[in-house]
Structure 1
Amino acid sequence: MSIEFGKALTVTETPIPGLIVLDLPVHGDSRGWFKENWQREKMTAAGIDLPDFGPVQNNISFNDAVGTTRGIHAEPWDKYVSVATGRIFGAWVDLREGPTFGAVYTTELDPSRAIFVPRGVGNSYQTLEADTAYTYLVNDHWSPDATYTFLNLADETAAIEWPIPLDQVEISDKDKEHPRLADVVPMPPKKILVTGANGQLGRALRAEFGEHTWIEYATRDDLDLTSPDLESARRWRDYSTIINAAAYTKVDLAETPEGRVDAWAANVTAVAALARIATANGITLVHVSSDYVFDGTKVGAYTEDDPVSPLGVYGQTKAAADAVVSVVPRHYIVRTSWVIGEGNNFVRTMASLAERGIDPKVVDDQVGRLTFTTDIARGIRHLVERAAAPGVYNLTSAGATTSWFDVARNVFRHGGHDDARVSGVSTDDYFASASGPVAARPRNSELDLSTFEASGFAPAPGDDGLRAYLRS
């Protein structure tokens, strides 16, 4: 067996997205040879984006004879393939849904070369030397319930040029019976789970992402996030992303003894459970935060790095959830303010008052920007599909800040009503006669949007969004 010694650790891209070949340093002398087959720290330093794939199992396939041929199997997990002894001819076929379905790549592997095979890419090999030990790390445990996809080794479309003709080698009967490419059912992408699917944001996410077999929209009736059985409620390794649109948002009721319990359960306990699941299974967790994590005393817009200082129970639960989600390796915290979507909200209330001839008093000393759920959904999709850097992203409508009083007047005016019917009042005076508990509101809710905009996302101007919302 001839091994090339002294290579530098390098990576080579292939025509199949995510399938990469690694040249490994192998050190040899008269006693034999040594290599670091998987070295997380050095791979990270070399810029190889593999060390976080989280292997949980190591398998070895030993092959006695030259020409042993294993079928083209696409599995629902990633695998890192290398050779301990001997040499193979490997063939990989992209069997995932998408534009590269059917793409083929072939190469030889010996102890100085390895390959990373992403989920859904068909993997096969033929031994070129006797006593070949083929070894691979995988990031999920084998399961009979998992979804597999197969391709016939002799498929005419893939047209793999096997070094040893297939009629002269050892192949299992099962591998001989696998379908041709035209009959292969592509492996679907990992699933996306949207919780809180019946809420304002959940409905907007459904409209944005659409109906697909690989997107699951769950209500509380479908999936109780506070259940002690949550970790066994799904085969979580089949999910790539959880978008948590479920939340307790009754800011005043959260100040009551019962509301406080409910707010912490929904906004923190449930989020912590999702964070544990996301961390354990390599899932991206998308969490929606709020301007209520701030006390509103800052002059100017709040950035993602400003320290939190919530005034009430609701804000405290959102700030606690932010801290929990921030330790998930793959996470997006989307911080919003003044959310408007399908359902009961401030804009709908003002439009109804205008139509019924009621002249409202609206607080004029709280400033910020509206955030339409359509923009939030669009922004979340942008982060997920672009695989943006994990972290906190402020997201509201663009444009100048306004007060609730200004928003109310705009609603009246855009609806063809006299905006002078709306009068301003201070927050203290507005709530002076309240019969129940009132949560303290941040007076300044302006969020700086530069981080999100730098990622390539352009939020719609607030007044344009308001006009479109009223028309719909």
Structure 2
Amino acid sequence: MSASFGKKLERIETPIPGLVVFELPVHGDSRGWFKENWQREKMLALGLEDFGPVQNNISFNDAVGTTRGIHAEPWDKWVSVATGRIFGAWVDLREGPTFGTVFTTEIDPSRAIYVPRGVGNSYQTLEADTAYTYLVNDHWSPDASYSFLNLADETAAVAWPIPLADVEISEKDKAHPRLADVTPIPPKRILVLGASGQLGLALRERFGDASHIEYATRADIDVTAADMSAARRWRDYGLIVNAAAYTAVDTAETAEGREQAWAANASAVAALARVADDHGITLVHVSSDYVFDGTLEGAYPEDAPLRPLGVYGQTKAAGDLAASTAARHYIVRTSWVIGEGGNFVRTMHSLAERGIDPRVVGDQVGRLTFTPDIANAIAHLYESGAPYGVYNVTGAGEVQSWAEIARQVFELTGHDPQRVTPVTTEEYFSSASGPIAPRPRNSHLDLAKIASTGYAPAPAEESLRAYVAGLKG
């Protein structure tokens, strides 16, 4: 037994992002030894991603010097040895600034290493009868796509303890390419649903047109279909952003609208959550202030009780609960969204320019949220690895009524803001002929939680000023 007893469980970072060494406590006496080779609760407490292993493999090696090639598989691995000792070499083959970075160390029964997808993994046995074991989070498949690096690559320049000329290497491993000829492995795929909507357009701007980004509309993918689980090779995906929703608040109060709202805002989200949970995907779901009744004094925190008033709010609340069943989820709750296409600010701008003096609701308060801010917040949460859960995301600053915002738009366009007349919600809808959904009077969402992750939402008034200036241009 080459492992040392008495180590404390410890996490050790490496130069390769996501590649983490763990020292493991091993307990033994004259009869032998015992260790917890994988203990999910303790590993997560040390910050390891909950990577969801589904298959355990063991490679037994008779002879000292057995050398296995540098392979980067499309899954994450927890590597350790049950008996014996290895020299391990890992090379980052992922796209990005750390491509080609090398890390080496010895692994015995008192040490393990977490190897993220896209990092090339290889080893050389230093003792006879070495049992090399690894947990993986996808089932082995002959159709899986691998990347390889030659063991003798001059750029990586791995300092093998036993020269490669003195060990047996498979013909396949000898034929693997040098680093200059390796195509970097792209990140896991990102799927954005609702790509043609206001937020979808902002997400296109934020995430760009890289080959691993997929934008889909309702016509491209039916998330409520029975074969949803087979619609994609989901293990290739790292993120699903659900920017699709039924948002016709008043029409949702009709029989047909109610059915459509529940299908899009609740049933579809439940289907996405099942896919995300089954395949270790992060799900981002965009929620609404309408899950609250607006009676709270002050700002709504993320954990305020759900009290939706109308059908739209009820379906959004149900969608929040469905999304939360995915282990990796971010529920981004927002309000008063402004982006490309028709919206309140554009309408007020048009009325001001056409000489129309509007009556605008003055007893509902909140903050505008511009779609680039939502898109940036989503990217921040995912890329920073913020704790999963619900986050409020709106513009920053003081709350205002719709009428106050309308007056700002008039003023920013060079018109008299007093042309806007504040009215109550009841007065505004008094002449409506169809069903009218109840609205929360207070849509003020607390931003402390998203701020604690290092994200600072843009002030709503500054965003409004820039947006109106764009309309004038």
Length-normalised TM-score, structure 2:
0.96
In the TM superposition, 1:85-234 aligns within 5 A as 85-234=83-232
Deviations 1:165-184 (A, max 9, x none): 11221111111111111111
Aligned residue identity for 1:94: D
**CA contact 2:2–2:85 (8 Å) conserved in 1:** no
Deviations 1:141-188 (A, max 9, x none): 122333321100000011111122112211111111111111111111
Aligned residue identity for 2:331: I
Structure-2 separation of matches of 1:29 and 1:453: 51
Report what 1:37 is aligned to.
37
In the TM superposition, 1:238-277 aligns within 5 A as 238-277=236-275
Aligned residue identity for 1:56: V
Report what 1:10 is aligned to.
10
* 1:30 Cα deviation from its structure 2 partner: 3.5
* 1:112 Cα deviation from its structure 2 partner: 2.1
Question: Could you tell which deviates more after superposition, 27-36 or 69-78?
Answer: 27-36
Report what 1:388 is aligned to.
386
Deviations 1:307-332 (A, max 9, x none): 11111000001111112222322211
* 1:28 Cα deviation from its structure 2 partner: 3.0
The runs of 5 or more residues in structure 2 that have no matched partner are: none
Report what 1:468 is aligned to.
466
Question: Could you tell which deviates more after superposition, 9-18 or 79-88?
Answer: 9-18
Q: Aligned Cα RMSD in Å?
A: 1.5
Structure-2 separation of matches of 1:455 and 1:27: 39
Report what 1:368 is aligned to.
366
**SS state of the match for residue 341, structure 2?**
coil
Report what 2:58 is aligned to.
60
Structure-1 separation of matches of 2:375 and 2:39: 39
**CA contact 2:193–2:241 (8 Å) conserved in 1:** yes
* 1:338 Cα deviation from its structure 2 partner: 0.8
* 1:77 Cα deviation from its structure 2 partner: 1.1
In the TM superposition, 1:223-372 aligns within 5 A as 223-372=221-370
Aligned residue identity for 2:432: A
* 1:64 Cα deviation from its structure 2 partner: 2.1
**SS state of the match for residue 275, structure 1?**
helix
* 1:51 Cα deviation from its structure 2 partner: 6.6
* 1:255 Cα deviation from its structure 2 partner: 0.2
Report what 1:438 is aligned to.
436
Report what 1:457 is aligned to.
455
Aligned residue identity for 2:38: W
Structure-1 separation of matches of 2:391 and 2:147: 37
**CA contact 2:239–2:283 (8 Å) conserved in 1:** yes
The runs of 5 or more residues in structure 1 that have no matched partner are: none
* 1:15 Cα deviation from its structure 2 partner: 1.6
**CA contact 1:148–1:187 (8 Å) conserved in 2:** no
- Aligned residues between the structures: 470
Structure-1 separation of matches of 2:441 and 2:31: 74
Q: Percent identity?
A: 74
Deviation beyond 6 Å, 4+ runs, structure 1: none
**CA contact 1:40–1:51 (8 Å) conserved in 2:** no
Structure-2 separation of matches of 1:28 and 1:300: 59
Structure-1 separation of matches of 2:415 and 2:142: 64
**SS state of the match for residue 207, structure 1?**
helix
Question: Could you tell which deviates more after superposition, 233-242 or 22-31?
Answer: 22-31
Structure 1 position 429 matched with structure 2 position 427: yes
* 1:21 Cα deviation from its structure 2 partner: 1.9
Aligned residue identity for 1:270: A
Structure-2 separation of matches of 1:135 and 1:154: 24
Structure-2 separation of matches of 1:49 and 1:417: 55
Deviations 1:67-91 (A, max 9, x none): 2111000111110111122221111
